Amino acid sequence: MHTHTDSTACDDLAGAARILSAAQHLFAEKGFAAVSMHEIAQHAGVSKSNVFHHFRSKDELYLAVLGAACTSHREQLVPLLSGDEPFGVRLQRIMHADLEFMFAEPERAQLVLREITGTKPDDAVQPAPALLRDNAAALVAQMRIAQQNGEIRAEIDPAAVALLFLAANKFYFLTRNLIRHFPDVDFADDHGRYVEKIADLILHGVLPQEGVPK
Amino acid sequence: MHTHTDSTACDDLAGAARILSAAQHLFAEKGFAAVSMHEIAQHAGVSKSNVFHHFRSKDELYLAVLGAACTSHREQLVPLLSGDEPFGVRLQRIMHADLEFMFAEPERAQLVLREITGTKPDDAVQPAPALLRDNAAALVAQMRIAQQNGEIRAEIDPAAVALLFLAANKFYFLTRNLIRHFPDVDFADDHGRYVEKIADLILHGVLPQEGVPK
DNA sequence: GAACGGACCGACCGGTCGGTCAGCGAGGCA
DNA sequence: TGCCTCGCTGACCGACCGGTCGGTCCGTTC
């Protein structure tokens, strides 16, 4: 039922869907304020007043787009958190899938991340902050289970691990167009390679481990 | 010479400086498109046309503000990278100082980070992407030295460590207003505590280390 | 056929946008 | 004193903004 809606073919969709698609694309690219309703209408191939026929205001249109992005993200993540494999394997699996989702729907990811990295006051009613909070809480729960099982160190803070996990993934996505050109970076277009490296770091750290076979 | 310019007292400054200060505050808070020149003028206590007397265009004003932010950031970081202490100590020192800088000049930090997390095409001429690139390169160089000294594992990718370091710091800053309210997070307003926890994770990883005394 | 509702449109609205222009006053200098 | 420069201003400009209004067209139902 859920197909990718990252602004592929606008022509075959009904009016409201074309408007949503165009809005998603433009809001993701430029943010809310820099996109006019006229521009959205043009991209959707309808008149501006037709946009207002379907959506009462620019705010309502934006929230519809953002809400869909958050819902999609939430639906993708929830199944990832089940599983009984060893912690390290699970860490890599979740991390890889999260990246795959973001790169499969980059516009939606960009919309969500712009909301949580901005400077608006926290409002948990808004979908994106709530999504980040729930993501973090779910990861913390995973860390706690792993701690109880003795899989990871008991003295570390699960919230710090969760945040490091989220930071590693989200920052990589957010800076993808820049790090691609960094002379030392060979993982910008290979999420699998990036995941392996980062998971290794998170699991084992950077210090040499004398006497512990790998 | 360089004092904090995070929009404290506008009244004692000359016109152009007041305009820059107001612009920094508003651009940091809302981004480029959502701030009008009228609003900047009001905040600066001058007329809009006086803003255009000092700055040829909105773009020029924005670049002046952003350029100052990047310069400030660059000047703060460079002295951090010298030092001969053990790698773990240096990691914590750099990390802590970077956070201190960002929280001391949050508007400038927000401006820079918004530029590198947005969707503009990479343009190294722009100051913020160049700053990220140089930060990453400097950290990579540090990692390489530590590897040559045997302080950190030889087989890990220095660029991945550098990115993890940057991700941990920048994402923490960018989400500061949200994570403060997370039930499991006790480090949102204590950068020292956050640094200790994250540095421990980056240094030692999450896996239990049997047989290695800590 | 008539009535209705939904999708859609061009024209229009009041207001805002970035930017320009003519002018004023203050200060410095010859 | 007169001239120049600088900082500053209100009025103004065309373009654009989000949104409204009156109307048309089409499909459906009775």
pLDDT in tens, B157-188: 999 999 999 999 999 999 999 999 999 999 99
Report the distance separating Cα A114 and Cα A54, nearest Å. 25
Q: Average pLDDT of A105-127?
A: 86
Q: Is the pLDDT of residue A2 over 50?
A: no
Q: What fold characterizes domain B9-55? A: Arc Repressor Mutant, subunit A (1.10.10)
Chain A nearest-CA residue for B120: A29
Q: How far is residue A89 from each of residues A72, A99, B66, measured CA to CA in Å?
A: 24, 15, 42
Question: ipTM surpassing 0.85, yes or no?
Answer: yes
**Least Cα separation, residue B67 to chain A (angstroms):** 18
User: Residue B179: CB partners within 8 Å, gap ≥ 6?
Assistant: A132, A136, A163, B172, B185, B188
CB B143 within 8 A of CB A185: no
Report chain A's C-alpha Rg in angstroms: 20
Of residues A161 and A13, more confidence is placed in A161
DSSP 8-state code for residue B210: T
Q: Is the pLDDT of residue A9 over 50?
A: no
Q: Average pLDDT of B1-18?
A: 56
Q: What fold characterizes domain A6-55? A: Arc Repressor Mutant, subunit A (1.10.10)
Q: Is the pLDDT of residue A196 over 90?
A: yes
Round and report the angstrom distance from CA (A9) to C1' (D23). 31
Q: What is the pLDDT of residue B124?
A: 54
> What sign results for the dihedral spanned by CA atoms B208, B209, B213, B214?
negative
Comparing every residue's Cα with the C1' atom of nucleotide C9, the nearest one is A47
Report chain B's C-alpha Rg in angstroms: 20
Q: Is the pLDDT of residue B12 over 70?
A: no
pLDDT in tens, B121-148: 656 568 999 999 999 999 999 999 999 9
Q: What percent of chain B has pLDDT over 70?
A: 89
Q: What is the pLDDT of residue A47?
A: 93
Q: Is the pLDDT of residue B96 over 50?
A: yes
Lowest mean pLDDT: which of A47-51, B1-5, B41-45?
A: B1-5
CB B100 within 8 A of CB B169: no
Q: Is the pLDDT of residue A114 over 60?
A: yes
pLDDT in tens, B44-86: 999 999 999 999 999 999 999 999 999 999 988 877 777 788 9
Q: What is the pLDDT of residue A198?
A: 96
Q: Average pLDDT of A167-188?
A: 94
Q: What is the pLDDT of residue B150?
A: 92
Chain D bases closer than 7 angstroms to a protein Cβ? 7-11, 16-22
The residue ranges of every structural domain in chain A are: 6-55, 66-204
Interface of B with A in 47-76 (CB under 8 A): none
Q: Average pLDDT of A101-105?
A: 95
User: Residue B187: CB partners within 8 Å, gap ≥ 6?
Assistant: A157, A159, A160, B193, B194, B197
Q: Is the pLDDT of residue B194 over 70?
A: yes
- Please, what is the average pLDDT of chain B? 88
Round and report the angstrom distance from CA (A25) to C1' (C15). 28
Compute the residue count for chain A.
214
Interface of A with B in 143-172 (CB under 8 A): 150-153, 156-164, 166-168, 170-172
pLDDT in tens, B144-160: 999 999 999 999 999 99
Round and report the angstrom distance from CA (B116) to C1' (C16). 30
Q: What is the pLDDT of residue A125?
A: 64
Round and report the angstrom distance from CA (B64) to C1' (C15). 29
Chain B nearest-CA residue for A140: B184
Q: C-alpha dihedral over B82, B84, B90, B96, to 10 degrees?
A: -50
| pLDDT band, very low/low/confident/very high, at A3 (cuts 50, 70, 90) | very low
Q: What is the pLDDT of residue A214?
A: 43
Cβ-based burial of B79 (10 A; exposed 0-12, middle 13-18, buried ≥19): exposed
Q: What is the pLDDT of residue B78?
A: 76
Residues of B in contact with A124 (CB under 8 A): 181
Q: Average pLDDT of A56-73?
A: 94
- CA-nearest of A15, A117, A19, A131 to A67 is A131
Of residues B9 and B164, more confidence is placed in B164
| pLDDT band, very low/low/confident/very high, at A122 (cuts 50, 70, 90) | low
Q: Is the CB of A36 under 7 A from strand C?
A: no
Q: Average pLDDT of A123-141?
A: 87
Q: Average pLDDT of A114-127?
A: 79
| pLDDT band, very low/low/confident/very high, at B119 (cuts 50, 70, 90) | confident
Question: Is the CB of A204 less than 8 angstroms away from the CB of B202?
Answer: no
Q: What is the pLDDT of residue B34?
A: 93
Q: Is the pLDDT of residue A55 over 80?
A: yes
CATH says B64-204 is which class?
mainly alpha
**CATH homologous superfamily, domain A66-204:** Tetracycline Repressor, domain 2 (1.10.357.10)
**Contact with chain B for residue A210, Cβ under 8 A:** yes
Report the distance separating Cα A19 and Cα A10, nearest Å. 9
Chain C bases closer than 7 angstroms to a protein Cβ? 7-11, 16-22
Q: Is the CB of B48 under 7 A from strand C?
A: yes
Q: What is the pLDDT of residue A84?
A: 80
